[in-house]
């Protein structure tokens, strides 16, 4: 828990004052039974109204000071817990954003979301409860027992018998339930995953009429979680009945011994009431302590899960300063590059070598799963190759700083992700200080200037994930976002798949005419999309099947010829239809 104390250092004052005020509250609480004892033994038998008023005032003062101490402690505990949890959440979010695609793939999005939300909340609750009860509850338990011995040693021996039994029950139930709570956390991970997949893929689910199947799978998972929660609930439900049985037996023993002692004049009636009150205080605090320890274990499990993310450092290190650019006409070079995904047995790319000159348009084509996206993802260094070297403008891609590499490349991924906000704000993700004229120019090249006109201008509000736009509209806006960046390398990763052939052709023509100094990589399943590229790279199951122009490849590359012939009739039918 050394890392946890790091977050509490900023709230050192609150972390000290919260338990301190709780201890003050506990001290005043321990005096209450003695005051009540005095009222019963002195004030009531003697009908001493002055004494009764005085002791009543003392009780009121004890309650007022206790309440003030409790509220103050709650304030400091909440401030320390919420503040440290916020810092932890920010650090975790920042750390996750430093991950390469490899680390994100390794954890999974749903797990990272759960750790950022549920696990951090568990830690926050744990800190809050520890600061409030960790010292107070044990202090009350042992303080009440000591106070009982000051009243009568023989009667207090009941406490020495009852307290170990209460501890055994409370901690026995706690140790039985803790492993189940850990299983519950893992089930919550799965439910988060299912929920995220269902919400993001709702259209696909409905298109394939899979609602009932998804409901069944979600229901089965929630049933498993329910069973675990019911099981742990049944164990926890034993806590109150068993502890109250022990408590009531102890109270009965106290009253029996006290009655004999009162009858013989050894004890007063007030002393017996005080002993019973101390026993009740012990029970209440033991139950609080058991709940506290369960909360601590939940928080500990949550913090371990958070720490398992925090201790993972990205393997992708960037230099602070980029190496000087070499005077090279080669924009991108792959030198015997191989790549294998984490936990994958087979390489996705194997011994790929090619050189691309500045300003060229490069088409990348191949069958599904041939490694097209993997290849272009190595250029902006989303992944590091496992063999060989990727070079940009004569320097190894690893020699560029993160900022310089980001400035060099602009990527439009397969899935066009738009954010809630205005159309202008979404395009400005490519260049924060882009003027409206630059945005409109990029939109014109990306063939989405008509969208701006139809939607009423750049201030059109885009809903979350672009729900109020079609697939083609989202793709064109995402392309405009990349073009406005004016990067030296533009990568379009199958980002024109939702466009019709006419719009596709106009877009490619506009990019070629308006980005003459930009090296453009176009990944596509369509032969017509890459046909007019300066050079075409053909991939087959991670291998370089061919490289050259359309004419050269049609003659010499069997894989490329098969793709062209398989698509020719369909494209002609669409053009003539």
365 and 281 together in one domain:
no
Range 529-550 average pLDDT = 92
83 and 204 together in one domain:
yes
- Give the per-residue pLDDT at 569: 54
Q: How far apart are CA 502 and CA 504, in angstroms?
A: 5
φ/ψ (deg, to 5) at 461: -85, 120
Range 222-246 average pLDDT = 82
Considering its fold, how many domains does the chain have in total? 2
- Give the per-residue pLDDT at 20: 93
Q: Give the bridge partners for 355, in sequence order.
A: 333
HEC profile of 266-308: CCCHHHHHHHHHHHHHHHHHHHHHHHHHHHHHHHHHHHHHHHH
Sheet holding 395-396, edge to edge: 349-357, 330-339, 387-392, 395-396
pTM of the model: 0.74
- pLDDT higher at 313 or 375: 375
Q: How far apart are CA 177 and CA 291, in angstroms?
A: 11
277 and 145 together in one domain:
yes
Q: How far apart are CA 171 and CA 4, in angstroms?
A: 25
For residue 143, being part of any structural domain is answered with: yes
We report the CATH number of the domain holding residue 345 as: 3.40.50.300
For residue 319, being part of any structural domain is answered with: no
367 and 289 together in one domain:
no
CB 21 within 8 A of CB 73: yes
For 11-55, what is each residue's pLDDT tens digit?
Answer: 999 999 999 999 999 999 998 988 888 888 888 888 888 888 998
- Give the per-residue pLDDT at 327: 67
Q: Six-digit token pair at 348?
A: 């996705």
For residue 315, being part of any structural domain is answered with: no
Q: Which of 146, 86, 147 is nearest to 116 (CA)?
A: 86
Range 269-275 average pLDDT = 87
351 and 251 together in one domain:
no
513 and 365 together in one domain:
yes
176 and 126 together in one domain:
yes
456 and 516 together in one domain:
yes
Residue with tokens 């925090």: 310
Q: CA dist 126 to 14, 129, 296, 358, Å?
A: 15, 5, 5, 57
Residue 512: pLDDT over 90? no
420 and 294 together in one domain:
no
Boundaries of domain holding 547: 330-576
């Amino acid at each position: 828990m050394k890392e946890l104390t790091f977050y509490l250092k900023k709230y050192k004052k609150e972390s000290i004052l919260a338990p301190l005020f709780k201890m003050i509250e506990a001290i005043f609480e321990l005096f209450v039974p003695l005051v009540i004892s005095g009222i019963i033994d002195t004030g009531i038998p003697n009908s001493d109204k002055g004494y009764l008023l005085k002791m009543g005032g003392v009780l009121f003062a004890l309650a007022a000071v206790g309440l003030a101490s409790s509220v103050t402690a709650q304030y400091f505990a909440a401030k320390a817990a919420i503040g440290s949890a916020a810092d932890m959440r920010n650090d975790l979010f920042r750390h996750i954003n430093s991950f390469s695609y490899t680390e994100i793939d390794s954890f999974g999005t749903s797990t990272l979301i759960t750790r950022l939300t549920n696990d951090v909340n568990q830690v926050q609750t744990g800190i809050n409860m520890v600061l409030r009860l960790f010292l107070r509850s044990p202090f009350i338990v042992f303080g009440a027992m000591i106070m009982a011995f000051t009243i009568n040693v023989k009667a207090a021996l009941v406490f020495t018998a009852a307290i170990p039994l209460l501890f055994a029950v409370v901690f026995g139930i706690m140790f039985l339930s803790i492993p189940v709570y850990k299983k519950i956390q893992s089930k919550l991970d799965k439910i988060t995953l299912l929920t995220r997949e269902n919400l993001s893929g709702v259209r696909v689910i409905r298109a394939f009429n899979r609602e009932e199947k998804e409901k069944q799978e979600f229901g089965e998972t929630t049933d498993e979680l329910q069973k675990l929660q019911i099981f742990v609930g049944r164990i926890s439900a034993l806590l109150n009945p068993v502890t109250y049985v022990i408590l009531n037996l102890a109270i009965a023993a106290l009253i029996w011994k006290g009655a004999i002692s009162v009858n013989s004049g050894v004890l007063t009636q007030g002393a017996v009431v005080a002993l019973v009150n101390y026993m009740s205080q012990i029970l209440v605090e033991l139950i609080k302590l058991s709940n506290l320890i369960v909360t601590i274990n939940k928080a500990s499990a949550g913090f371990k899960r958070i720490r398992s993310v925090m201790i993972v450092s990205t393997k992708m290190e960037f230099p602070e300063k980029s190496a000087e650019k070499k005077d090279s006409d080669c924009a991108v070079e792959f030198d015997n590059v191989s790549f294998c995904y984490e936990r994958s047995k087979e390489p996705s790319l194997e011994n790929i070598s090619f050189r691309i000159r500045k300003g060229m348009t490069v088409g990348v084509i191949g069958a599904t799963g041939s490694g097209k996206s993997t290849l272009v993802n190595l250029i902006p260094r989303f992944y590091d190759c496992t063999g060989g070297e990727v070079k940009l403008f004569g320097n190894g891609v690893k020699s560029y700083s993160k900022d310089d590499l980001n400035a060099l490349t602009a990527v439009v991924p397969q899935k066009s992700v738009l954010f809630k906000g205005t159309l202008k704000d979404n395009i400005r993700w490519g260049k924060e200080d882009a003027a409206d004229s630059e945005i409109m120019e990029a939109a014109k090249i990306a063939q989405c200037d008509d969208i701006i006109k139809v939607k009423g201008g750049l201030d059109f509000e885009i809903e979350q994930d672009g729900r109020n736009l079609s697939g083609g509209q989202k793709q064109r806006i995402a392309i405009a976002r990349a073009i406005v960046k004016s990067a030296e390398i533009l990568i379009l990763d199958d980002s024109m798949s939702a466009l019709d052939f006419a719009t596709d052709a106009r877009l490619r023509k506009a990019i070629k005419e308006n980005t003459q100094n930009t090296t453009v990589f176009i990944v596509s399943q369509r032969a017509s999309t890459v046909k007019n590229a300066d050079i075409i790279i053909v991939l087959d199951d991670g291998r370089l099947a061919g490289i050259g122009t359309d004419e050269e490849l049609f003659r010499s590359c069997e894989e490329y010829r098969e793709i062209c012939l398989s698509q020719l009739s369909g494209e002609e039918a669409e053009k003539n239809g």
